Amino acid sequence: MQVSSGGMVFDVEVSGPLDGEPVLLLHGFPQSRRAWDGVTRVLNEAGLRTIAPDQRGYSPGARPAGVEAYALPLLAGDAVGILDALGVETAHVVGHDWGAVVAWYVAAHHSERVRTLTAVSFPHLEAFWYALRHDPVQRQLSQYLAYFMSPESTSAMLADDAAQLRSLFGDAVEADQVEHYVALQSQPGVLDAALNWYRSGSLLAEEGLGQVPVPTTYVWSDGDMAVSRLAVERTAEHVTGPYRFVALEGVTHWQPEQAPGAVAEEILRRVRRQ
């Protein structure tokens, strides 16, 4: 379905029982709402209603020009706006990768709209910033940021049948899923818009995210090459609500696709405990 918010139109997959508690699922880069396919099946079967949008830049009707249009407060505003448009007062909010960054922001700045938070892969931003300053491992892991922020990254990632883009997934994501992502990012303007999330500078701004007061689960995996142990360990300091940390063993950065059952289980555990 399509949902209008803030003068834009988002493609949104809504599924599950009409009376189920709502779960907002926010995807990462360079994915789409399809990243949650395996997770939503489990959540729907458990009686939850899922809302999975293609976020700003990914939906054709929500692809503004200019890097400044992809600042974090605007991305978070989209998430809240989609809930408004669907008449959802509060939701369980789940995010992976960049979707987790948005989810952390929503939980910190719009906590009255968030029943629970489940963040997958990416830690609280202030924990990430601390690790960037103090941890050589995190600085090494984050070297890709400069490349993603560079103007030439778009054409380079799409060259040779999107070889660089494909290489991001390794063998952790099924081939048909990778082909879906590549087809999406190969459409005119999509990859530039997706990379504008990085180019906006939100990941490096250090403007202060604030404490998260809602019940929170942070899911990380030992094969995730984007986040260091220090960033993971510091995250708990920025959550004042009930907090649970989960480390998935033998799983890469692509947790929703590679381990959908485990991710869904942790979402359900958080929803039921609240």
Output the pLDDT for position 207: 76
Q: What is the arithmetic mean of pLDDT over 193-202? A: 97
Output the pLDDT for position 133: 95
Instruction: Band the pLDDT of 22: cuts 50, 70, 90.
Output: very high
Instruction: Band the pLDDT of 43: cuts 50, 70, 90.
Output: very high
Instruction: State pLDDT tens for residues 87-100.
Output: 999 999 999 999 99
Q: What is the arithmetic mean of pLDDT over 33-52? A: 98
Instruction: Band the pLDDT of 208: cuts 50, 70, 90.
Output: confident
Instruction: Band the pLDDT of 260: cuts 50, 70, 90.
Output: very high
Whether 213 has a pLDDT exceeding 90, the answer reads yes
Full-prediction pTM beyond 0.85? yes
Instruction: State pLDDT tens for residues 8-19.
Output: 999 999 999 999
Instruction: State pLDDT tens for residues 99-128.
Output: 999 999 999 999 999 999 999 999 999 999
Say what percent of the chain tops pLDDT 70. Answer: 100
SS (H, E, C) the chain: CEEEECCEEEEEEEECCCCCCEEEEECCCCCCHHHHHHHHHHHHHCCCEEEEECCCCCCCCCCCCCHHHHCHHHHHHHHHHHHHHCCCCCEEEEEECHHHHHHHHHHHHCHHHEEEEEEECCCCHHHHHHHHHHCHHHHHHCCHHHHHHCCCHHHHHHHHHHHHHHHCCCCCCCHHHHHHHHHHHCCCCHHHHHHHHHHCCHHHCCCCCCCECCCEEEEEEEECCCCCHHHHHHHHHHECCCEEEEEEEEEECCHHHHCHHHHHHHHHHHHHHC
Instruction: State pLDDT tens for residues 124-172.
Output: 999 999 999 999 999 999 999 999 999 999 999 999 999 999 999 999 9
Instruction: Band the pLDDT of 218: cuts 50, 70, 90.
Output: very high
Instruction: Band the pLDDT of 274: cuts 50, 70, 90.
Output: confident
Which domains does the chain show, CATH number per domain?
A: 2-273 (3.40.50.1820)
